[in-house]
Amino acid sequence: MSFKLSHGWIWGLAVLVAVLGTAGGVSAYEWFTWSGNGHSYAAIDVAADVATQAALADAEGAYLVTINSWEENLFLYWTFNAKAENFWTGGSRNAAGEWQWVTGETFDFTNWNYEPWADGRDNLYLRSVDATWGNWLETRPMKALMELEAPADTTPPALTLNPPSPARLAPPYNRPVLVTVSGTVQDAESGVARAWLEVQDEYGGYNDVVPLTGDLATDGTFVVSFEVDAKPAPRDRDGRLFVLTLFAEDQAGNVALVSEELVSSPRRRGRQK
């Protein structure tokens, strides 16, 4: 099955492209980012054979475009005004007669205008007439579309953990004490996947985990309250030490942590109430 465009699509296409992609500037080309996969795309506006266009894309750290869905096909067609131009892509036919993408991605989605020619025309191009595909000889000069994947996210989330309130836990020791903690969890690249707070004491008998993911505001701030047993051991003269550790993991798997201390007052002589 193939999907063709007519003039009746124009208004809807303009709206859809506005939602799917936004323009940006990278290198000497004008790049456009599609929100469907976070990749950026640019046109090589000088016509050349496939090998030359592939080399130009490689020099940009990119590759000739692959098309894996109707939405991506439509985004490319409308963004680069394909009604006036044909564009080489990264699709080709191998020695076994199978179509493949230069990246090795599965060749599941197709949008052929016709049954591909089987006479040596082994390279795929996006057609100017109706957004369908055609195939031709690799030596034919044609403009091309290239695709650039978003760089890998290797930066962990940025964290701040403010001193807890109260910073020092006072008696009574026979009741839990309410502690409030605030801070921020932010990740500008792949986004925050999860965040949590771990509370441990120096005796090794207290270990609590406070989930934070659902408490993060849109700007990454949070405020949570929880209770702790502040009672120190009988011979603990400097108070019971708690360590609060804020953990966060982003969508790329990068983890960050930051800690604050919380201390209870030492046991006083005499009967504690």
Query: What is residue 264's predicted lDDT score, i.e. its pLDDT?
Result: 82
For position 154, what pLDDT does the model report?
86
| CATH 3.10.100.10 correct for 7-148 | yes
Quote the pTM value: 0.54
Alpha carbons 36 and 112: distance in angstroms, whole number? 22
Question: How far apart (Å, rounded) are the C-alpha atoms in residues 182 and 244?
Answer: 11
- Position 252 scores a pLDDT of 83
By the 8 A CB rule, do 198 and 245 touch? yes
pLDDT in tens, 36-76: 988 999 999 999 999 999 999 999 999 999 999 999 999 99
Q: What was the pLDDT predicted at 92?
A: 97
Task: Could you list the beta-strand ranges (E) of 83-191.
Answer: 87-93, 99-101, 123-126, 133-136, 142-148, 158-161, 168-169, 177-186
Which sequence spans correspond to the domains of the chain?
7-148, 158-264
- pLDDT value, residue 83: 53
Cβ neighbours around 118 below 10 Å, total: 10
pLDDT of residue 231: 81
Digit-by-digit pLDDT tens for the chain (273 residues) are: 555 554 344 334 433 333 333 333 336 899 998 989 889 999 999 999 999 999 999 999 999 999 999 999 999 998 997 557 899 999 999 999 999 999 999 999 999 998 898 888 999 999 988 889 999 999 999 999 999 998 778 899 999 999 999 988 876 556 788 999 999 999 998 899 999 999 999 988 788 999 999 999 999 999 999 988 888 888 888 888 999 999 999 988 899 999 999 888 776 554 444
> From the DSSP assignment, how many helices (H) and strands (E) are in the chain?
3, 17
Q: Is the peptide bond before 266 cis (omega within 30 degrees of 0)?
A: no
- The pLDDT, as a whole number, for residue 272 is 45
The CATH architecture assigned to 158-264 reads Sandwich (2.60)
